[in-house]
C-alpha cells in the first residue's frame, strides 16, 4: 500500500482504476501488440523477412504477461487482489466444514454480542455526553456529603464564582398534570430560569422560559414539556405552545416542547415537564428556597471557555470557605466538579464501577470464546497440514500461508462480529424500550452509536487476530518442514503444547465466570432475605398526594381519615395505616436532630436521621416490631405533647441509651424537644447495603403530610387488594392522581434494580461461559477420538476393555479440565471480592457457591465428553483399520 500518502487527485485516479481493471488488461494487451507490430515493421524495413521480424519483435518485448502485471502493479492494488483471493479460498474452506464454521461464528457472535451490549450500556451511562450544546463544558457541582446544595448556597455560588458562564439548579419533582383530560401524576424538574439557555438546546416547538420568567416566587406559571409528553399526552398537538394546563390544580401555560433526545440533565431519569424553580412553593407545598439548611437542589453549569476543571475547583474552594465561614450549617463545605448525568459523582462513581465490572466479565467471556476457537483451530491445523504442504511445495512462502490463515480467522471473526452486532442491536432495542416496573421514569437510552459499532468492529478484529495468530505462527514454523517432506502429518510432541495450555485457560476463565455469576445469584437471593425492618409480604399500598389535587391541610386531614376507613373495611384487611412515605421507596427525607443536652448546634454535634410521619397502627401494618413502648394513638394530636418513635440506632446514637423510652431529643438547631414513646427494630431505609442508620417516626396527626402512602395488611393477594383500594379511593375523589398502586414489594423496586441488573448480566455470562466450556471440551474430545480412530481400533482388536479405551482418550483431557477448573475456582473467588461491591452480601466463601461451581463444571465436562466417548466405544476394529 505504497500509495497511502498520495494526493487526493492521485487517490481518485487509483480508486477509479478499480472500476476498469478488465478494460485495463485488454487495453494493455492491445498496446503491446501494437508496439510489437510497429517494431516488426521497423525490423522489416531493415531487411528482415516477415516471420523473422515478427518473432524478433516479440522477443524484444519479453514476457507480455509479466510486463502487463508490472504495469498493473503500478496502480497499487496488488494487496487487494491477494486479499480477495485469500477471501475466496477462506470461504471455500469454511463452507467445507460447516459444523466448525457454525460453532465458531455462533460462539463469537455470543461473545461479541454480549460485549457490545455491555459496552453500549457503559457508553450510554458513562461515556456519552448529554445531548446539549458543547457538553464538554457542562459540569455538575458536588457538595461535601453528596450531590445536593441548599438553594441559598446555590445563589451565592452562582453570584460569587468567576469560572462559570452560567450556573443553574434543578430538582426532581413530582407533579399532578391536568391536561383537561383528567389529572396524571408525572415526574418532572423544577429548574432555574437559566437552565435551558445554559444547556444551549433548541426547543422542538415554541420556546423555553428565561431567567426573567423565574424571578419572583409563584409568579411564573410556565411549563416546558418533553417530546414524549407532547406526543403521548397532547397527541402531538402543533398548537400546544400557549396552551393552558393545570399543575397541582393551578393554571399554567405551556411555553414549548423540549427536543426529542433531551430528557433532562440526568441519564436515568426521563422528565416529562420543566417548571421554573420559583414555582417550588406552589409545586411542593412548602418553600425551602430560603432555607440554608435544606439541601434540595442539584447544581450544574457551563464553564467559561478555556477554564479548566482545576481552575474552577480552586475558585469554588474559595467560595466554599467563605460560605463555611459565614454560615455554621456549611461547616466543612467542599465543592467539586464531576461530569453530569448520574447524580454527580455520588452516582457516577458506583455506576462506573458497576458498568466497568460487568464489562470486565464480558471481556472474560470473549477471551474464553477466543481460547475456545484457538484450540479448535489448532486441532484443525493438524488435519490441514497435508493441504498446507501441497501449497508450500508449489511455491507458497511462509508469509503467504500465514496471511491465508489469518484471512480465514479474520473472516470468521467478522462473520461472528456481524452476527454479534445484529444480536446486540436486537437486545439493545428491547432494553431501550424497556421501562423498569417502577413508579419512576427510569429508562435507558442505550441506542448504539458510532462508538458502539467501532467497539464491536475492534472486538471482532482483535479476536480474529488473537485466535488466529497461534495456528498461523505454527504454520509459519512448520512450512519449511512441510516443504521438505512434501506431504506429511508431523506428530511432534510440541504441537500439543499450545492446546494443552489453551483448554485449561479456557476452562479457568469459564469457571471464573460461573463462580462469579453464582456468587451474584446467591447474594441476590440472600438480599431478599435481609431483614428490612418491616415485612413487605402481604402488604398492599397506594400512593397519592392530596396537595397535588389542591386540598388544604384541614381538607387533607378529613380526606385521609375517610380514605383510611374506606380501605380498612375492605374484605380480608387485618390492619391499615398511612404514612408520609415508606422506607426504601424513592421518597426519602432526613432531618437533623440533637441530643437534649446539646447547646452547641454546629454540624459536628448534629445527627442526621431518616424521618417518616406515620399514622396510628403503622408499625403493626408495616410489620415492624415494637421493642419497647407504644404505637402512636389518635390522641397524639396537634395540641398534645410532642412525641416520636425511634429505631435502635437512633436510641443508641442520639440519647446514648438502648432503653430510650421517656427520653427526649431536639429537632433542628434550637428546635422543639420531642419525647420518645417507643423503640422499633432497625431497618433499611435508603439502600439494602447501608449500615444501620438512625430513623425517627413522628405522628402524622401532629405533622401534616399531603403526600400519603396508604397501606393495608391482609392474607389476600396484594394485587387484588390494590385494585380494590384504588377503586375505594377513586370513589372518594375521582380527580386525585394515584400512583404506586400494588404490593409494597413493587414500591421497593428501585432498591433492587441494580441487583436485578447484576443478576441478569452475570447470569447470562455464566450461561455463556458454560456453553463455551461445552463446545471447548467437546471440540477437543471429538478431535482426539477422530485422530485416534485407528489406534483405538487396534487396541480394541487386541482386547482393550471399554474402560481402558476411555482412559486412553480422556485421561489427559480430564487432567487438563481439572487443572483449569481448580485455577478458575481460585480466581473466581478472588474476583468475587470485586463483586461484593455490586451485589449485596456476595460472599466468595460460600460453600454452596463453591459446590455449585464444581458441580456445574463437572456436569458440563461430562455432558460435553459424552458424545465423543460413545463414538470411541462404538469404533469397529475392522472399519477402523481401513480408516485413511
Residue numbers of the site for another protein (CB under 8 A)? 9-10, 13-14, 27-28, 30-32, 34-35, 37-39, 41-43, 46, 48, 56, 60-62, 67, 70-75
Rounded Cα distance between 225 and 209, Å, is: 11
Shortest distance in whole angstroms from residue 79 CB to another protein:
16
The residue among 41 and 182 lying less far from another protein, judged by its C-beta, is 41
The three cell numbers locating residue 175: 407533579
The residue among 11 and 852 lying less far from another protein, judged by its C-beta, is 11
DSSP letters for 32-68: HHHHHHHHHHHHHHTT--HHHHHHHHHHHH--HHHHH
Rounded Cα distance between 372 and 366, Å, is: 10
- Count CA atoms closer than 13 A to 166's CA, side-chain side: 13
Helices assigned H by DSSP within 334-397:
344-393
Helix (H, G, I), strand (E, B) or coil at 338: strand
The residue among 45 and 212 lying less far from another protein, judged by its C-beta, is 45
Kindly tell me the sign of the dihedral angle through the C-alpha atoms of 389, 393, 398, 403.
Answer: negative
Neighbours of 718 (CB within 10 A): 23
The residue among 16 and 235 lying less far from another protein, judged by its C-beta, is 16
Shortest distance in whole angstroms from residue 85 CB to another protein:
22
Shortest distance in whole angstroms from residue 10 CB to another protein:
6
Shortest distance in whole angstroms from residue 476 CB to another protein:
32
Shortest distance in whole angstroms from residue 58 CB to another protein:
11
The residue among 2 and 454 lying less far from another protein, judged by its C-beta, is 2
The residue among 28 and 363 lying less far from another protein, judged by its C-beta, is 28
Shortest distance in whole angstroms from residue 83 CB to another protein:
20
Helix (H) or strand (E) holding 674: strand 673-680
The three cell numbers locating residue 372: 475456545
Residue with cell 446539549: 132
Shortest distance in whole angstroms from residue 25 CB to another protein:
13
Shortest distance in whole angstroms from residue 78 CB to another protein:
13
Rounded Cα distance between 512 and 508, Å, is: 6
Shortest distance in whole angstroms from residue 403 CB to another protein:
25
The residue among 12 and 496 lying less far from another protein, judged by its C-beta, is 12
Q: Which long-range contacts (CB under 8 A, 24 or more apart) does 669-675 make?
A: 669/293, 669/329, 669/592, 669/594, 669/601, 669/606, 670/601, 672/642, 673/596, 673/642, 674/642, 674/643, 674/644, 674/698, 675/641, 675/642, 675/643, 675/644
User: Phi/psi at 837 (nearest 5 deg)?
Assistant: -75, -20
Helices assigned H by DSSP within 434-574:
450-485, 494-529, 553-568
Shortest distance in whole angstroms from residue 380 CB to another protein:
41
Shortest distance in whole angstroms from residue 129 CB to another protein:
43
Rounded Cα distance between 207 and 223, Å, is: 10
The residue among 4 and 394 lying less far from another protein, judged by its C-beta, is 4
The residue among 9 and 395 lying less far from another protein, judged by its C-beta, is 9
End-to-end CA distance of the chain: 44
Residues whose CB falls within 8 Å of the CB of residue 284, separated by 6 or more in sequence, listed in order: 173, 190
The residue among 74 and 878 lying less far from another protein, judged by its C-beta, is 74
The residue among 56 and 316 lying less far from another protein, judged by its C-beta, is 56
Kindly tell me the sign of the dihedral angle through the C-alpha atoms of 384, 390, 396, 397.
Answer: positive
Question: What does the radius of gyration of the chain's CA atoms come to, in whole angstroms?
Answer: 37
Helix (H, G, I), strand (E, B) or coil at 144: coil
DSSP state of 135: G
Shortest distance in whole angstroms from residue 486 CB to another protein:
35
User: Which pairing describes strands 539-545 and 148-150: parallel, antiparallel, or unpaired?
Assistant: unpaired
The residue among 53 and 125 lying less far from another protein, judged by its C-beta, is 53
Rounded Cα distance between 635 and 620, Å, is: 17
Chain-centroid distance of CA 16 in Å reads: 45
Neighbours of 688 (CB within 10 A): 17
Shortest distance in whole angstroms from residue 397 CB to another protein:
24
Rounded Cα distance between 242 and 223, Å, is: 10
Shortest distance in whole angstroms from residue 395 CB to another protein:
23
CB 445 within 8 A of CB 432: yes
Helix (H, G, I), strand (E, B) or coil at 540: strand
Shortest distance in whole angstroms from residue 20 CB to another protein:
12
The residue among 28 and 324 lying less far from another protein, judged by its C-beta, is 28
The residue among 35 and 557 lying less far from another protein, judged by its C-beta, is 35
The residue among 49 and 159 lying less far from another protein, judged by its C-beta, is 49
Neighbours of 826 (CB within 10 A): 14
The residue among 66 and 884 lying less far from another protein, judged by its C-beta, is 66
Shortest distance in whole angstroms from residue 18 CB to another protein:
13
Rounded Cα distance between 654 and 673, Å, is: 13
Residue with cell 443508641: 652
Shortest distance in whole angstroms from residue 400 CB to another protein:
24
Helix (H, G, I), strand (E, B) or coil at 742: strand
Amino acid at each position: 500500500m505504497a500509495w497511502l500518502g498520495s494526493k487526493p487527485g492521485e487517490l481518485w485516479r487509483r480508486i477509479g482504476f478499480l472500476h476498469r481493471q478488465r478494460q485495463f488488461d485488454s487495453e494493455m494487451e492491445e498496446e503491446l501488440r501494437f508496439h510489437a507490430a510497429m517494431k516488426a515493421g521497423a525490423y522489416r524495413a531493415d531487411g528482415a523477412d516477415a516471420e523473422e521480424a515478427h518473432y524478433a519483435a516479440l522477443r524484444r518485448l519479453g514476457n507480455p504477461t509479466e510486463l502487463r502485471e508490472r504495469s498493473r502493479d503500478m496502480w497499487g492494488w496488488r494487496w487487494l487482489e491477494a486479499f480477495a483471493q485469500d477471501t475466496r479460498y477462506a470461504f471455500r474452506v469454511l463452507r467445507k466444514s460447516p459444523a466448525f464454521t457454525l460453532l465458531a461464528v455462533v460462539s463469537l457472535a455470543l461473545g461479541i454480542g454480549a460485549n457490545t451490549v455491555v459496552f453500549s450500556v457503559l457508553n450510554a451511562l458513562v461515556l456519552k455526553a448529554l445531548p446539549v450544546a458543547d457538553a464538554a463544558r457542562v459540569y455538575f457541582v458536588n457538595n461535601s456529603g453528596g450531590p445536593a446544595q441548599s438553594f441559598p448556597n446555590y445563589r451565592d455560588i452562582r453570584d460569587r464564582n468567576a469560572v462559570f458562564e452560567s450556573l443553574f439548579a434543578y430538582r426532581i419533582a413530582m407533579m399532578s398534570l391536568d391536561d383537561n383530560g383528567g389529572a396524571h401524576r408525572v415526574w418532572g424538574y423544577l429548574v432555574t430560569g437559566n437552565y435551558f439557555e445554559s444547556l444551549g438546546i433548541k426547543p422542538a416547538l415554541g420556546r423555553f422560559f428565561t431567567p426573567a420568567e423565574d424571578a419572583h416566587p409563584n409568579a411564573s406559571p410556565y411549563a416546558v414539556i418533553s417530546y414524549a409528553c407532547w406526543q403521548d399526552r397532547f397527541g402531538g398537538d402543533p398548537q400546544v405552545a400557549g396552551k393552558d394546563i393545570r399543575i397541582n390544580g393551578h393554571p399554567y401555560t405551556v411555553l414549548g416542547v423540549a427536543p426529542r433526545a433531551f430528557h433532562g440533565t440526568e441519564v436515568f431519569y426521563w422528565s416529562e415537564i420543566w417548571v421554573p424553580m420559583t414555582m417550588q412553593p406552589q409545586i411542593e407545598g412548602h418553600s425551602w428556597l430560603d432555607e440554608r439548611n435544606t439541601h434540595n437542589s442539584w447544581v450544574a453549569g457551563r464553564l467559561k471557555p478555556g477554564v479548566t476543571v482545576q481552575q474552577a475547583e480552586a475558585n469554588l474552594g474559595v467560595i466554599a470557605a467563605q460560605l463555611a465561614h459565614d454560615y455554621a450549617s456549611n461547616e466543612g463545605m467542599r465543592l467539586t466538579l464531576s461530569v453530569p448525568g448520574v447524580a454527580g459523582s455520588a452516582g457516577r462513581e458506583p455506576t462506573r464501577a458497576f458498568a466497568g465490572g460487568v464489562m470486565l466479565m464480558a471481556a472474560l467471556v470473549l477471551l474464553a470464546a477466543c481460547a475456545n476457537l484457538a484450540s479448535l483451530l489448532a486441532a484443525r491445523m493438524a488435519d490441514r497440514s497435508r493441504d498446507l504442504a501441497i501449497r508450500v511445495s508449489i511455491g507458497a512462502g511462509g508469509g503467504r500461508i500465514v496471511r491465508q490463515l489469518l484471512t480465514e480467522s479474520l473472516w470468521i471473526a467478522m462473520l461472528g462480529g456481524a452476527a454479534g452486532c445484529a444480536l446486540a442491536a436486537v437486545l439493545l432495542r428491547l432494553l431501550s424500550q424497556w421501562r423498569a416496573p417502577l413508579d419512576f421514569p427510569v429508562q435507558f437510552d442505550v441506542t448504539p452509536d458510532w462508538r458502539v459499532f467501532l467497539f464491536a468492529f475492534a472486538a471482532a478484529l482483535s479476536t480474529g487476530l488473537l485466535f488466529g495468530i497461534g495456528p498461523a505462527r505454527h504454520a509459519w514454523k512448520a512450512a519449511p518442514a512441510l516443504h521438505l517432506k512434501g506431504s506429511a502429518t508431523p506428530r511432534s510432541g510440541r504441537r500439543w503444547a499450545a492446546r494443552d495450555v489453551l483448554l485449561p485457560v479456557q476452562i479457568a476463565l469459564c469457571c471464573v465466570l460461573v463462580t462469579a455469576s453464582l456468587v451474584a445469584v446467591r447474594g441476590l437471593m440472600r438480599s431478599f432475605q435481609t431483614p428490612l425492618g418491616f415485612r413487605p409480604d402481604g402488604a398492599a399500598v397506594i400512593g397519592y398526594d392530596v396537595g397535588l389535587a389542591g386540598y388544604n391541610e384541614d381538607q387533607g386531614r378529613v380526606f385521609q381519615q375517610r380514605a383510611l376507613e374506606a380501605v380498612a373495611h375492605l374484605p380480608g384487611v387485618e390492619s391499615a395505616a398511612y404514612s408520609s412515605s415508606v422506607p426504601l421507596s424513592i421518597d426519602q427525607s432526613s432531618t437533623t436532630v440533637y441530643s437534649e443536652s446539646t447547646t452547641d448546634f454546629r454540624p459536628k454535634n448534629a445527627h442526621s436521621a431518616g424521618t417518616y410521619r406515620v399514622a396510628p397502627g403503622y408499625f403493626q401494618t408495616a410489620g415492624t416490631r415494637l421493642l419497647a413502648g407504644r404505637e402512636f394513638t389518635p390522641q397524639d394530636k396537634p395540641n398534645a405533647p410532642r412525641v416520636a418513635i425511634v429505631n435502635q440506632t437512633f436510641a443508641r446514637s442520639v440519647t446514648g441509651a438502648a432503653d430510650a423510652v421517656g427520653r427526649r431529643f431536639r429537632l433542628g438547631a434550637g428546635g422543639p424537644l420531642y419525647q420518645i414513646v417507643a423503640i422499633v427494630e432497625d431497618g433499611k431505609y435508603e439502600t439494602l447495603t447501608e449500615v444501620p442508620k438512625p430513623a425517627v417516626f413522628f405522628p402524622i396527626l401532629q405533622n401534616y403530610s399531603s403526600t400519603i402512602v396508604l397501606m393495608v395488611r391482609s392474607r389476600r393477594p396484594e394485587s387484588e387488594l390494590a385494585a380494590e383500594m384504588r377503586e375505594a379511593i377513586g370513589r372518594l375523589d375521582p380527580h386525585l392522581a394515584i400512583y404506586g398502586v400494588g404490593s409494597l414489594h413493587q414500591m421497593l423496586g428501585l432498591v433492587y434494580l441494580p441487583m436485578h441488573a447484576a443478576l441478569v448480566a452475570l447470569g447470562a455470562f455464566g450461561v455463556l461461559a458454560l456453553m463455551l466450556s461445552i463446545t471447548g471440551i467437546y471440540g477437543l474430545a471429538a478431535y482426539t477420538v477422530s485422530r485416534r480412530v485407528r489406534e483405538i481400533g487396534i487396541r480394541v482388536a487386541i482386547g482393550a476393555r471399554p474402560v481402558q479405551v476411555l482412559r486412553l482418550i480422556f485421561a489427559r483431557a480430564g487432567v487438563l479440565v481439572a487443572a483449569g477448573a481448580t485455577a478458575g475456582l481460585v480466581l473466581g473467588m478472588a474476583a468475587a471480592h470485586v463483586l461484593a461491591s455490586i451485589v449485596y452480601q456476595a460472599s466468595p466463601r460460600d460453600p454452596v457457591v463453591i459446590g455449585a461451581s464444581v458441580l456445574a463444571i463437572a456436569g458440563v465436562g461430562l455432558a460435553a465428553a459424552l458424545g465423543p466417548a460413545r463414538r470411541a466405544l462404538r469404533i469397529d476394529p475392522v472399519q477402523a483399520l481401513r480408516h485413511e
